[in-house]
Chains A and B, each alone.
Chain A
């Protein structure tokens, strides 16, 4: 028990899973608590578990005073829950006292009181130093003792006496027509009243528990489903959770590389909720199986709830797409939980989910498929239940994958149990019918917190798993399957022709360039030869001029004419 504040009422933990949570610590210490409910709702068991857990876990011995079952019956009955009552009795942890009262044997002759009961109870308490007491069910006294006035006065005294003794007591009472209990025990025990209920709706039964009243303490007021199984009681404080989950940035692979790529190349967020929806036979379970396998390969534990197939059938079917789930089952990483949705009520499903998850502690939980719950159930209730499951899984940082079958006549996006708002990543699988062929398409309808691909991809189941292909999206619409292959071939041919065209053009240009270059070269050659000729002529001309000059000078010298000198001078100038 946690001591939160000085002022809070001291409480005795029951050790019953979940119950201490909704009552904030257990039953009021040193005070009597009334447990009421109809036949077979688990009153006796609640009391017994309170004692056994008190004795074994909290070192508080207890007395069980039974007015209905004999000690031998009690020992036998609770042995099925793994409680070794005989041993506890032997070690003086628990005292059993069967009070039998037979109206026909009793004759009333004047004044009496129930001091005998007090003495017996007191003796039992003192003999083992009991801190806890269960009276189950004291109402039997009303049948056995004719004088109600005495009885009621004595009961009042008994509860006061129990308080004085300082024992934490549970008094069980049969549910009455108008009152909480048949004999109005709630009048006497007013500190804490707990109601157990066993309700049948739509042929499925659900056990529920409610804290009707808890003086001096906060408590959950809802009806909580509870389970009685081989480990005793477990109560589920399901709605106490709020939107306060720890959020992780970590990503985990979906097990399908191409799908991871559609989700920023990283896969789902850790602790997110994934919905795979689609029509019948599109491969929802295969996607789930891939995810399961990937998680197992990472060494994580996976809990697989199958509501339609038996685990063996599912494993066999998944073998055909190359997923060997059996090995992981053998390694203890994968656990199947197969039940028909109609096997028990929604609350019970929720309860079972809680229980199994708490026991197995998986990192990944798969529910396949969720919409089978709708059979016979109201959609709103299904949604509430799924919300609770989602809340619960998120709070535990468990990545959840739900599959959901979309019925033919309903719209793909709207039908899914109305839980889309709860879903973080929604993969939609759809049929694409074309050219007498049915193919599967897949796209990410939404994925919170990531830039997901908006491309529809073709979804192919091969013998080595799921493959995603780009679908053909073009002028002729979305093509899949053989149409896509044909279209792809066409395109390839087209591309080839175009490629060839380009090549040809390229070659032509090259040729033209070469021709041009040749022309240029030829012209250039002609020009060069002409140029050379011209230069030659110019040189010859200059030579001739020089030679004439020289001749003149030489002639003038030979005539020794001075005038000619001047002319030469002039020339020189």
Chain B
């Protein structure tokens, strides 16, 4: 994804911690502008990642209002949507990620319910 750099001092920013490619988690968060839901989702995601995947994750935030053509690639309908690109298989988690347990299940960090 080329649009990794979001312009102008947004609070939504990508976070990157370089690690070996093998166990690297590539996460992508799709949002549409800085809506409360988007901000909540980003905050929740950040928190979860710090707790669970410290040092081996990257978060890419894609604002569809700015790049609407990117929505089709990951079949985005609902916003916000978190896409786990790596490790495969691709997983999608929709919503503001407020239900931490569901997020962890969705990311395969917890055994499914």
Contact = CB atoms under 8 A, between A and B. Distances in A.
A145 B72 contact: no
A105 B90 contact: yes
A110 B95 CA distance: 5
Given A107-B91, A107-B102, A109-B102, A116 B96 contact: no
A123 B98 contact: no
A405 B7 CA distance: 84
A115 B68 contact: no
A100 B76 CA distance: 9
B65 to A, nearest CB: 7
Contacts of A114: 77-79
Most buried by B among A100, A106, A109, A112: A109
A120 B37 CA distance: 19
B78 A109 contact: no
Contacts of A107: 91-94, 102-103, 105-106
Contact of A145 (B69, B78, B91, B93): B78
B30 interface: yes
Interface in B1-43: 30, 32, 37, 40-41
A120 B62 CA distance: 14
* B: contact size bracket: 20 to 34
A110 B69 contact: no
A141 B78 CA distance: 11
Contact of B75 (A101, A141, A145): A101
A112 B92 contact: no
Secondary structure class of chain A's binding surface, majority of residues: mixed
B68 A112 contact: no
A117 interface: yes
A98 B95 CA distance: 22
A116 B91 contact: no
Interface string B75-113: 111111100000001111111111100110110000000
A119 interface: yes
Interface in A59-117: 97-101, 105-117
Contacts of A112: 37, 78-81, 94-96
A111 B37 contact: yes
Given A117-B77, A120-B72, A106 B99 contact: no
A109 B37 contact: no
Contact of B71 (A108, A111, A120): A120
B89 to A, nearest CB: 8
Contacts of A220: none
Contact of B95 (A111, A115, A141): A111
A514 to B, nearest CB: 124
A275 to B, nearest CB: 61
Contacts of B78: 112-117, 145
A265 interface: no
Given A119-B64, A120-B68, A113 B79 contact: yes
Interface of B: 30, 32, 37, 40-41, 64-65, 68-69, 71-72, 75-81, 89-99, 102-103, 105-106
Please name the 4 residue pairs, one residue from A and one from B, whose CB atoms are nearest each other, closest first: A107-B106, A123-B68, A110-B95, A110-B98
19 contacts: A100-B75, A105-B92, A107-B91, A107-B93, A108-B102, A109-B97, A109-B99, A110-B99, A112-B79, A114-B78, A114-B79, A115-B32, A115-B78, A116-B30, A120-B77, A122-B68, A123-B68, A127-B69, A145-B94
Given A107-B92, A110-B98, 5 more contacts: A107-B94, A108-B93, A116-B78, A116-B79, A119-B79
